[in-house]
């Protein structure tokens, strides 16, 4: 399975700032050939990624999408609009979207359908809100994943992002915790009749970790079995720090 290293800049970087950011980042990643790197920018800056990153090794995408392809949805952005901008990945279901916009598992699943309908890969964020014993986390993860069973596994990524490890002042989950959580997610994905279950011939769904990832902790996280990549937040706002994480040896 190809290692995935990506970032969402969240509500940061104007189109002008994104251009400067990508101009620094692109040459730093020219030598990365053994993994896939992606950047998810605000809607207003995706066209900059298309212009700056075409014919580079870096793929780009969006941080959200509306489940409908068109219609009277003022201010929203549809999957065909994102596909037209060359997006490869679209993030859905992030904790901040669930918290700030009351997004439900059903809405997240509808967004996954829209993303895949237009040939892109959906990155579905899952994770618990409060730090609890891991055995208590399983049911919450199962609820978040249960509606994904009918989707194309080859265009689906699961990002484990515990809310307690996200944001300024937070600390990344420990590598052993992440390893155990990823094992639990993989078990859920493989359980017959369970969320996103499949036959043995179906492609495995990558499970990546996000939550206060930085250059110092990246190697230990990637060393955990079942961690297929990293989803970097605020550390990646420094393109050199993001490039360092993207170069982390495995």
In this predicted model, what pLDDT tens digit does every residue of 118-157 receive, in sequence order?
Answer: 999 999 999 999 888 888 888 888 989 998 888 999 999 9
For residue 172, name the pLDDT band (cuts at 50, 70, 90). Answer: confident
Q: State the catalytic residues.
A: 94, 161
**Does the pLDDT at position 36 exceed 90?**
yes
In this predicted model, what pLDDT tens digit does every residue of 99-123 receive, in sequence order?
Answer: 999 999 999 999 999 999 999 999 9
**Does the pLDDT at position 38 exceed 90?**
yes
Tokens of 38: 């992606």
Average pLDDT of the residues of the chain: 93
In this predicted model, what pLDDT tens digit does every residue of 215-233 receive, in sequence order?
Answer: 999 999 999 999 999 999 9
In the chain, the number of structural domains is 1
Task: Specify the CATH number for the domain of residue 174.
Answer: 3.20.20.70
Asked if 105 and 146 count as a contact pair (C-beta separation under 8 A), the reply is yes
Distance CA 150, CA 115 (A): 14
- The residue segments making up the domain with residue 27 are 3-246
This prediction has a pTM of: 0.94
Per DSSP, what are the bridge partners of residue 230? Answer: 5, 209
Cβ-based burial of 10 (10 A; exposed 0-12, middle 13-18, buried ≥19): middle
Give the mean model confidence (pLDDT) for residues 76-95: 97
Return the higher-pLDDT residue of 190 and 14: 14
Q: How far apart are the first and last CA of the chain?
A: 13
Asked if 233 and 185 count as a contact pair (C-beta separation under 8 A), the reply is no
């Amino acid at each position: 399975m190809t290692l995935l290293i990506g970032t969402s800049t969240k509500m940061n970087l104007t189109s002008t700032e994104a251009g400067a950011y990508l101009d620094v980042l692109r040459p730093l990643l020219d030598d990365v050939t053994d993994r896939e790197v992606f950047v998810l920018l605000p809607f207003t800056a995706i066209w900059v990624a298309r212009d700056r990153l075409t014919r580079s090794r870096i793929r780009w995408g969006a941080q959200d999408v509306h489940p409908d392809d068109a219609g009277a949805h003022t201010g929203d952005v549809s999957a065909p609009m994102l596909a037209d901008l060359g997006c490869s990945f679209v993030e859905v279901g992030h904790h901040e979207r669930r918290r700030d916009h009351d997004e439900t598992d059903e809405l997240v699943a509808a967004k996954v359908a829209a993303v895949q309908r237009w040939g892109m890969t959906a990155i579905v964020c899952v994770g618990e809100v409060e730090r609890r014993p891991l055995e208590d986390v399983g049911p919450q993860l199962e609820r978040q994943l249960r509606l994904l069973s009918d989707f194309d596994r080859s265009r689906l990524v699961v990002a484990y992002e515990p809310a307690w490890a996200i944001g300024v002042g937070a600390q990344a989950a420990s590598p052993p915790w992440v390893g155990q959580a990823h094992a639990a997610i993989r078990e859920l994905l493989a359980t017959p009749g369970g969320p996103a279950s499949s036959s043995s011939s179906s492609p495995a769904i990558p499970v990546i970790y996000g939550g206060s990832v930085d250059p110092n902790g990246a190697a230990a996280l990637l060393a955990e079995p079942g961690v297929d990549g990293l989803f970097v937040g605020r550390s990646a706002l420094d393109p050199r720090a993001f490039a360092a994480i993207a170069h982390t040896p495995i």
